[in-house]
Amino acid sequence: MIIGIPISENAYTPESYAYQKYLIRKGHIVQLDYKLDPDNDINLYITGLKPFWEKKKGRAKEIHEYQSLSTPPYAKLKNFGKKLINNKPNGRIFLNNFVHEHLFFEDKIPFIYRDMGVDENLFQKPNENPDYDIVYCGSVSGRNGLIETLLNLAKSYKVLVVGKLTIEDRDLLNSENITLIGAVNRELLPEIYRNARFGLNYTPDIYPYNIQTSTKTLEYLASGLKVISNRYEWAEYFFKNINYQPFWLSCDTTLDITKFENLNSFNYSVMKDYSWENILSHSNFEGFLREVVNESI
- For 135, 200, 247, the CA distances from 264, given in Å and listed in that order, are 19, 16, 10
Q: Which helix (H) or strand (E) holds 24?
A: helix 14-25
Measured at the alpha carbon of residue 102, what is the angle toward residues 96 and 104, in degrees to the nearest 5?
110
Largest CA distance in the chain: 60
Q: Please name each of the domains of the chain with its CATH number.
A: 2-117+276-292 (3.40.50), 120-272 (3.40.50.2000)
Residue range 194-244, pLDDT digits in tens? 999 999 999 999 988 899 999 999 999 999 999 999 999 999 999 999 999
> Any idea of the CA torsion for 113, 119, 125, 130, to the nearest 10 degrees?
-110
Q: How confident is residue 86, by pLDDT bands cut at 50, 70 and 90?
A: confident
pLDDT at 131 over 80: yes
If 0-12 CB within 10 Å is exposed, 13-18 middle and 19+ buried, where does residue 223 land? Answer: buried
Q: What is the mean pLDDT of residues 38-59?
A: 80
Q: Which helix (H) or strand (E) holds 92?
A: strand 91-94
Looking at residue 122, the DSSP 8-state letter turns out to be G
Q: Angle between the 14-25 and 285-292 helix axes, to the nearest 10 degrees?
A: 80
pLDDT at 3 over 70: yes
DSSP string, 226-265: EEEE---HHHHHHHHHTT---EE--S-TT--GGGGTTT--
pLDDT at 51 over 80: no
